[in-house]
Structure 1
């Protein structure tokens, strides 16, 4: 790909500033630094929604030469708290920046949200579009009881499915759904990656350690039932993450006497050490794409427990490299944990890491994605 530039379109409203605030900047940018380091591309352009990203990137470049060939395409001024400037930038930004985007070898999305901006850029520049996403936004809205948003998202998804040269998804159930809609030939299943040199194996497992989860504090993650299960088991739990339910979850934990530590967010390069202070990771979600937090926990060789749902079952083979919960209620979670604590099966830990090493390394992901890009030569 010598001489080639990739332009990445962030999710609607997304920015490097947000990634930094969420402590995931190093994780989210890792693939693109890898592409630059291996000379797969000579430059990366990031379509962002925050004018402050220019200054942020300038400061990062002073400290890390690896970022030297990354640039941002961002609005000139702040839109404040209103959503309308972001809407306008998503619609007109690709046109205002079309000369820069026209330098691209390929245009890529980060999620379904905001993909229409990449679609507009493709129409304006006639550059190949790779529609990459982790989950169908229309399905997520439908599962969350938002039918109008689901219908609007489905319309956008259908348009971009048709326009894109390639579609990249991380979860098998999404690939199967797209195949059922007639997009099998252009769809590639490329599971998410993790830095296995950072998320290394924990060798001193203890079933007495507190449980741990890494999660947004939202209804989808089913954390209230997890907290209630911990109270039933008289087990402590550490939660890494923030979200709109934090106040409610803290009150719930206090009211039932559950020993819960709300640890907030920490930089991704510190998360591995935090995970290794625990031995059992649990993710009792109601629905998922392909959960990165679970991949990271499995890479650390933790004993991993998750709901028996699409996305999680892409990763966990029950009783082999982890454990699946049959149901979503606190009693279901507690029963599964009692079984795990009784059986004390350490073998699932080693097999969990083996699963990640064989399927989810960054080099494996990059090779699969680059094979798609080679088809545009």
Structure 2
């Protein structure tokens, strides 16, 4: 059986390498596909084409066609490879455009994943045209796919109103053998890893840190449009903030293990991998009480929930920094929670079984 994997519009191997995600994808996603399918084709929007594993082949946009146009025509350019495939696995909703073309032209079965509420996130980031386009896609694209993988029950409920297409609940998962507790000096008081965008609400961390009597070390790892704004905001509020560019995924475990508290202050989330990784590493976590975070954090058991309020968040931070026993309790419970519920071994079995149906 041959599998085709369609990346989201604009995603490329070059981007994955730049973000340090390439090795993770090969070790986890592509390795799993390699072990369970005769051959795997990965369709990228970058120029590069190469063999990633013995039977996994990256096929690039060799003519450098605009990404939107390319999403409609690469199923024609790579007609031979797609016609060989038994099933198409689309990564995120925009992959369904090329998936739909393949279904219409070649009658291929298409399974996509719906990772978060794309329209709501676009609205938060004031990308109103994107929000409108995602809403239109939600109403059209499900007519051209055979199944949708969702990461949370909330997303499953939302999509079930829009379509009768089969929905499969397969949450994001973590390789708990990689993301695990390690003995490291806790030199970082507060850590955040992810995009530096409005949806992530990172000014809340800075505002909360500025209210603390004791100066603490705060580290953000990631890239995004709000980088300079956050640096300026931290200087104005006299907060010791260090922003590091995105790091290779295999190095993140070291940062988690040097951290006392991981904070995810988002306005909304899907099923946030960084939070799962931090919990798997046994870091005490604080998250805002919003969709996607409150579904993972059981307040005062495996982490702490906070309102979207800087004063309340500052009190939660102060509590955890002062109380090492509470941090230890939360970190231990968080690790066990991830092992029991989000271990990648079990979730990969579910996906492979689905794709082979």
> What is the TM-score when the length of structure 2 is the normalising length?
0.92
Partner of 2:6: 9
Q: Deviations over 1:330-358 (max 9, x none)?
A: 22321222333455412111111111111
Alignment map for 1:1-377 (pairs within 5 Å): 4-29=1-26, 30-36=28-34, 39-51=35-47, 53-54=48-49, 57-58=50-51, 61=52, 67-79=53-65, 85-183=66-164, 186-202=166-182, 209-233=188-212, 234-327=215-308, 329-344=309-324, 345=326, 346-375=328-357
* Contact 1:108–1:130 (CA under 8 A) maintained in structure 2: yes
Give the Cα separation in 1 of the matches to 2:243 and 2:124. Answer: 27
SS of equivalent residue, structure 1 residue 210: strand
- What is the CA RMSD across the aligned residues, in angstroms? 1.9
Gap runs ≥5 in structure 2 = none
Instruction: Pick closer, same or farther for the CA change 1:88–1:174 going to 2, 3 Å.
Output: same
Q: Deviations over 1:225-247 (max 9, x none)?
A: 21121122232211111111111
Q: Deviations over 1:196-242 (max 9, x none)?
A: 11111246786x84111102111111111211211222322111111
* Contact 2:4–2:89 (CA under 8 A) maintained in structure 1: yes
* Contact 1:289–1:310 (CA under 8 A) maintained in structure 2: yes
Give the Cα separation in 1 of the matches to 2:218 and 2:129. Answer: 37
SS of equivalent residue, structure 2 residue 93: coil
Instruction: Pick closer, same or farther for the CA change 1:114–1:374 going to 2, 3 Å.
Output: closer
Cα shift at 1:163: 2.1
Partner of 1:64: none
* Contact 2:183–2:257 (CA under 8 A) maintained in structure 1: no
Give the total of aligned pairs: 352
Cα shift at 1:299: 0.5
Gap runs ≥5 in structure 1 = 62-66, 80-84
Give the Cα separation in 1 of the matches to 2:283 and 2:182. Answer: 7
SS of equivalent residue, structure 1 residue 252: helix
> What is the TM-score when the length of structure 1 is the normalising length?
0.88
